[in-house]
A and B are shown apart, each in its own frame.
Chain A
Amino acid sequence: MKIRAKLFLLLVPLLLLSGLLINYLAGRAGCRTLHAETAERAGTTARHLVEMHIASFEAPSEQNLLPLLYEIATDLKAGQVGFADNSGTILAHTNVLRKGEKLSQANSAEYSPVDGKYQIKEHNPKGYLSVYTAVIKTLSDSAEELALREPGYKGKRLGTLLIDLSLKDSIAIEHKMARNIISILAVVYLLIFVAAFLLTEMALRPIHKLISGTERIRLGDYGFTIPVSTKDEFGDLAKSFNEMSSALSGTIVSKNYLDAIVDNVVDTLIVTDLHGIIGKVNKSARVLLDRGSRKLEGQGIMGFFPWDDREAGGWLGKLRKTGEVRDYEATLAAGPGITVPVLISASFIKDTEGNNSGIVAVVRDITLRKKHEAELARSNEELQRFAFVASHDLQEPLRTVSSYIQLLESKYRTVLGPEAERNVNFITDAVTRMRGLVRDLLDYSKINSARRLEEVETGEALDYVETMLRDAISAAGAVIERGNLPVILADRCQIERLFQNLLSNAVKFTNGGTPLIHVGAERSEGGWVFHVRDNGIGIEERHAGKLFKLFGRLHGNETPGAGIGLASCKKIVEHYGGQIWFESGPGKGTSFFFSIPNQTGKS
């Protein structure tokens, strides 16, 4: 119900009730005043007449009093007039039948002339207003006595005058008064209604503006403001409303705006409840998850991932366990017979109290990436095969060249002379380096993901490497210490090669003193971190970029090596999912670290 209707519903009974009350009370008060006034006027007039004829009342007799009573009745338009003595006995009355009647309390204060006492007999046009007036001889006999009169002197009471006045005129006046009161009330109430209508209109105007503003905000127009035209409470309310809308426009984007952004996100966006029931999806999701005419909202999201790890609860289970999922790889059943590789990132939506209220998942289609990865793998494999074949096939001609050069040297050394001998040596050295290079290349190309995993005691592997490098170690006078070396699941040859490359570098790049080398390992989260630490010449920071690249040599030809060792180490470590790095500085020695994560199975 509208406020105005409520107001009028409240006003109508109140006004009606007050009208009845006012009419009753005003009528009653007016009636009493009228009667009192009539009685007072009658009493005053009668007392005046009595005063002029006081002698008749001092020696009262019916014969003397009757003419006077008739005169009083005529003057007052009274129905009846009578006189009773102080004992209350009526001595004379215009209705002669009433002579001798006894008035009760005729001598009491009830009939005092000062108070204008009266009685109503039948309040109707045929009724009477009976006025009782004391007849008192007030003035003294002489002016001398008057001049000396004591305070409180009231004169001598001679009796009581009874005057019955018709109520006809009085009641006519009462009716007229009642009509006037009703007319006035009607006009006043009409004015009240009009004023109430106008006031409510005026009061509701700002409320209507507020309602309109609220509707605009509901529709997303958060910056909408309403004009502040008054300085009253409504003005304050409008000001508060405008501040609120201003704050809203600064902090909240509209639903349409948000929907437009969400719908135009390339990735698939899915919002579900905590049970994985889809509540909202964007356009990309509708395209990706197109299942004909079936509505996506209301379906369980895990129904789209039938191959996900059911036992662990899939990505949803991981989300519940960890609170967040990042780049979780899964296969999406996009339709009958259609699978799509995807990466899922998901997190919980929090409500205002910080509790989980839903899940938002971003599903990225990685079909293209998978295709590129496959092509790259195939390309790498072909390249590796080429390198293997090339290095393998180059071995034989080089060996032949080397053999014939050596044959020529031994057979024609004396004939060709010293010049030719030096040239032959050049050739022999070049061929030897080439063979080493080809061999290293061959070894490098042999490093691939095809590993023969076994439990390798890395200490034993180090023993084997030290044996292999015995001559070089002895020549350099190197001292090798070892720390904790664990047993790991790995390809023994690859581990030995790792140690071999790093150890030979440590022996090779010395600073002229005795090489001190320490080999050890420490457990890390999910695997082991090995180190090979020396006190050699160290590596400048600027060489860090090319250190692990193929053919990344830091020294001239006087230092043996093709720059393949550390590249091979990097390749081996990466096949295990680990990393290799170093810490060094010029003259401070070098520490190489490589991590070997725990391997879960054989490959």
Chain B
Amino acid sequence: MVLNKAGKKLYISAPRAALPLLFLALSSMPSLCPAQEAAAVLSRGSGLYFHTFLSFQKALGRPITAFDLSKEKPQLPRDLKAVVAFGSKAANFDYPAKIKVIYLLAPGYTAAGPKGTFTRISSRPDPALAIDAYLKLQPGLKRLAVFFKEPARETYLSELVAAAELRGVAIVPVGLTSAAEMPDQLRTLSGKADAIWLLPDPALITKVSLQVLAQFSCSNKVPYYAPSGGLADLGAAGAVAPDLNEIGNTAASALQQILSGKTQPGTIYLKSAETTINPEFINRCGLQIKLPSGKGAE
């Protein structure tokens, strides 16, 4: 569990200033692989993409050729069998048909292609893990409103409903075509939900939409759970999201499976999820959240 604004940060943070230099050094290195079977394509060679890439490479246990899509169009080797794409921009690159693509850190993106070509490392938590985590924070949780981008092109929502039903929680799906619909949907939702969860979809995440959700949560004493721990810091009761390092590790594992000739499912959920809470927000808004001891929780 990661706590913010409490002075106790449990997550691993790389020295960001040194990352671009390290990336350049890695990308300019001659490949140690006997054959260029795999490569990494990053939407941007800095920030969280690069941070996750480092975790991925560490888990992989050997260097891998990486391309920064924000700077150049990658010249992929001809004998390449698989690509690990970091970010939706990288995932959306036009790869040759024979290449298997593992994409991650692309929460609002769903790749379209023949079955077995694309494998997504989900940026959303496993549905069962998510419901368990929310029940831990809110033992009396009965109705969870989930905000997602319409149209839903994946099965996550149905899996979430099934997991929630098993645990006695009803999912109230709230589909939005844009963030601008947020105020109207919240008005119709008044009194019908015990908590709100915004799924990590970039189309719904704007400065205003985040402020609207935070203010609604505070005013109506309905806990709002953000898509990520960083957004929970900006103003939310908390968040349940996969750890970026774990995402990198899972991507490395999936790559090794593909290179060894094994097929992978279309979507891989992580075996764990990280819960972040914002005690300052919870206390300020008077939310009924069960905080860890010593946090002034209810």
Q: Which A residues lie at the B interface, using CB under 8 A?
A: 139-153, 156
Contact A151 B276 (CB under 8 A): yes
A142, B88: Cα distance in complex, Å = 11
A147, B123: Cα distance in complex, Å = 10
Listed by A's residue number, 6 A-B pairs whose Cβ atoms lie within 8 Å are A142-B43, A144-B105, A147-B205, A150-B51, A151-B230, A152-B233
User: Which of B161-169, B182-190, B195-203 is the contact stretch?
Assistant: B195-203
B153 at the interface (CB under 8 A from A): no
If A150-B228, A150-B229, A153-B230 touch, whether A145 touches B276 (CB-CB below 8 Å) is no
A150, B244: Cα distance in complex, Å = 8
Contact A148 B244 (CB under 8 A): yes
Contacting A at CB under 8 A, from B100-153, are: 105-108, 123
Contact A151 B4 (CB under 8 A): yes
Contacting A at CB under 8 A, from B74-98, are: 87-88
Rank and list the top 8 A-B pairs by shortest CB-CB distance, nearest first: A149-B230, A151-B229, A143-B202, A147-B200, A144-B202, A152-B9, A151-B4, A153-B230
- Name the residue on B nearest A152 (C-beta): B9
CB distance from A115 to the nearest CB of B (A): 13
A150, B3: Cα distance in complex, Å = 11
A144, B202: Cα distance in complex, Å = 5
A152, B231: Cα distance in complex, Å = 10
- Name the residue on A nearest B242 (C-beta): A148
Residues on B with beta carbons closer than 8 Å to the beta carbon of A139: 207
B47 at the interface (CB under 8 A from A): yes
CB distance from A26 to the nearest CB of B (A): 28
- Name the residue on B nearest A146 (C-beta): B205
Other CB < 8 Å A-B pairs besides A148-B105, A148-B227, 13 of them? A142-B43, A144-B105, A144-B106, A147-B123, A149-B228, A150-B11, A150-B13, A150-B229, A151-B2, A151-B9, A151-B11, A152-B230, A153-B230
Contact B87 A146 (CB under 8 A): no
CB distance from B270 to the nearest CB of A (A): 13
- Name the residue on B nearest A147 (C-beta): B200
A255, B227: Cα distance in complex, Å = 101
Of B13, B43, B47, B244, most A-chain CB atoms within 10 Å:
B47
Residues on A with beta carbons closer than 8 Å to the beta carbon of B207: 139
CB distance from A169 to the nearest CB of B (A): 31
Residues on B with beta carbons closer than 8 Å to the beta carbon of A140: 47
Total A-B residue contacts, Cβ distance less than 8 Å: 83
Interface string of B33-58 (1 = CB under 8 A from A): 00000000001100111010000000
A140, B239: Cα distance in complex, Å = 19
A146, B239: Cα distance in complex, Å = 14
Residue in B16, B47, B233 whose CB lies within 8 Å of A145: B47
Residues on A with beta carbons closer than 8 Å to the beta carbon of B106: 144
Contact A147 B201 (CB under 8 A): yes
CB distance from A50 to the nearest CB of B (A): 16
B211 at the interface (CB under 8 A from A): no
Residues on A with beta carbons closer than 8 Å to the beta carbon of B229: 149-152
A156, B15: Cα distance in complex, Å = 12
A143, B200: Cα distance in complex, Å = 10
B206 at the interface (CB under 8 A from A): yes
- Name the residue on B nearest A140 (C-beta): B47
Residues on A with beta carbons closer than 8 Å to the beta carbon of B4: 151-152
CB distance from A415 to the nearest CB of B (A): 165
Residues on A with beta carbons closer than 8 Å to the beta carbon of B201: 147
CB distance from A151 to the nearest CB of B (A): 3
CB distance from B144 to the nearest CB of A (A): 19
Of A139, A140, A143, most B-chain CB atoms within 10 Å:
A143
Residues on B with beta carbons closer than 8 Å to the beta carbon of A145: 47-49
Contacting A at CB under 8 A, from B212-238, are: 227-233
CB distance from B276 to the nearest CB of A (A): 5
CB distance from A548 to the nearest CB of B (A): 118
A147, B106: Cα distance in complex, Å = 10
A139, B234: Cα distance in complex, Å = 11
Residues on B with beta carbons closer than 8 Å to the beta carbon of A143: 108, 202-203, 205-206
CB distance from B146 to the nearest CB of A (A): 15
CB distance from B9 to the nearest CB of A (A): 5
A89, B51: Cα distance in complex, Å = 31
Contact B11 A141 (CB under 8 A): no
Residues on A with beta carbons closer than 8 Å to the beta carbon of B43: 142, 144
Contact A149 B44 (CB under 8 A): no
Residue in A141, A147, A156 whose CB lies within 8 Å of B228: A147
Residue in A141, A142, A147 whose CB lies within 8 Å of B231: A147
CB distance from A145 to the nearest CB of B (A): 6
If A142-B202, A143-B206, A153-B230 touch, whether A148 touches B48 (CB-CB below 8 Å) is yes
Contact B9 A149 (CB under 8 A): no
A143, B88: Cα distance in complex, Å = 11
If A152-B4, A152-B233, A153-B230 touch, whether A147 touches B108 (CB-CB below 8 Å) is yes
Contact A141 B107 (CB under 8 A): no
Residues on B with beta carbons closer than 8 Å to the beta carbon of A142: 43, 202
Contact B2 A152 (CB under 8 A): yes
A149, B88: Cα distance in complex, Å = 15
Residues on B with beta carbons closer than 8 Å to the beta carbon of A146: 202, 205, 230-231
Contact B107 A148 (CB under 8 A): yes
CB distance from A159 to the nearest CB of B (A): 15
CB distance from B211 to the nearest CB of A (A): 13
A141, B123: Cα distance in complex, Å = 18
If A147-B202, A147-B228 touch, whether A141 touches B44 (CB-CB below 8 Å) is yes
CB distance from B215 to the nearest CB of A (A): 18
A149, B233: Cα distance in complex, Å = 10
- Name the residue on A nearest B201 (C-beta): A147
- Name the residue on B nearest A143 (C-beta): B202
A151, B244: Cα distance in complex, Å = 11
A146, B232: Cα distance in complex, Å = 11
A146, B88: Cα distance in complex, Å = 13
Contact A150 B48 (CB under 8 A): yes
Residues on A with beta carbons closer than 8 Å to the beta carbon of B233: 149, 151-153
CB distance from B295 to the nearest CB of A (A): 15
A141, B47: Cα distance in complex, Å = 10
CB distance from A86 to the nearest CB of B (A): 10
- Name the residue on A nearest B49 (C-beta): A145
Residue in A144, A149, A152 whose CB lies within 8 Å of B108: A144
Contact B228 A148 (CB under 8 A): yes
A152, B87: Cα distance in complex, Å = 21
A95, B38: Cα distance in complex, Å = 57
Contact A152 B11 (CB under 8 A): yes
- Name the residue on B nearest A156 (C-beta): B16
A152, B200: Cα distance in complex, Å = 18
- Name the residue on B nearest A142 (C-beta): B202
A145, B89: Cα distance in complex, Å = 11
A140, B51: Cα distance in complex, Å = 14
A141, B202: Cα distance in complex, Å = 12
A140, B123: Cα distance in complex, Å = 18
- Name the residue on B nearest A139 (C-beta): B207
Residues on A with beta carbons closer than 8 Å to the beta carbon of B206: 143
A118, B16: Cα distance in complex, Å = 29
CB distance from A172 to the nearest CB of B (A): 34
A153, B49: Cα distance in complex, Å = 14
If A144-B88, A144-B106, A144-B108 touch, whether A150 touches B203 (CB-CB below 8 Å) is no
A145, B90: Cα distance in complex, Å = 13
Contact B200 A148 (CB under 8 A): yes
A140, B276: Cα distance in complex, Å = 20
